[in-house]
């Protein structure tokens, strides 16, 4: 599984767009990039997954450059309720499903 590196923490204010970048230099051809959100004492929640270029859903966008060695999770107009830990994971979707979580990025949204 490719190792990921992301900032330990980030601060933002309500209404701003937040971009969290994840580095995964050793990503393999079959690997997908998946992001999870976790609130304290709750289970992680799937946010978005992509393979290349751009993926958008109702809560976030995921930007993946052509070399796929990094990815950026974009959260538009964050609110206080977006304060959470965000995990970037990289792996083959059919490798056994074991998710390897790093330390994640602790996002703090202030009023």
Partner 1 sequence: DSGVTQTPKHLITATGQRVTLRCSPRSGDLSVYWYQQSLDQGLQFLIHYYNGEERAKGNILERFSAQQFPDLHSELNLSSLELGDSALYFCASSVGTSNEQFFGPGTRLTVL
8 touches partner 1 (CB under 8 A): no
Q: How many CB atoms lie within 10 A of CB 101?
A: 13
CA atoms within 13 A on the CB side of 17: 7
Instruction: Please enumerate in sequence order all residues whose Cβ is within 8 A of that of 43, keeping only pairs 6 or more positions apart, or say none.
Output: none
Query: Which of 13, 33, 15 is closest to 73 using CA atoms?
Result: 33
Question: Residues binding partner 1: what is the number (CB under 8 A)?
Answer: 25
Q: Tell which one of 53, 56, 79, 95 touches partner 1 (CB under 8 A).
A: 95
Task: Give me the 35-64 binding string for partner 1, x by CB under 8 A, dash otherwise.
Answer: ---x--xxxxxx--x---------------
28 touches partner 1 (CB under 8 A): no
Which residues form the interface with partner 1 (CB under 8 A)? 32, 34, 38, 41-46, 49, 87, 89, 91, 93-104
């Amino acid at each position: 599984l490719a190792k990921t590196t992301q900032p330990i923490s980030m601060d933002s204010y309500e209404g701003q767009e937040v971009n969290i970048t994840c580095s995964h230099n050793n990503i393999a051809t079959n690997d997908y990039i998946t992001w999870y959100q976790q609130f304290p004492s709750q289970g992680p929640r799937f946010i978005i997954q992509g393979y290349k270029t751009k993926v958008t859903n109702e809560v976030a966008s995921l930007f993946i450059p052509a070399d796929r060695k990094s990815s950026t999770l974009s959260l538009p107009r964050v609110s206080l309720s977006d304060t959470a830990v965000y995990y970037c994971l990289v792996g083959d979707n059919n490798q056994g499903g074991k998710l390897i979580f790093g330390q994640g990025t602790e996002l703090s949204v202030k009023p």
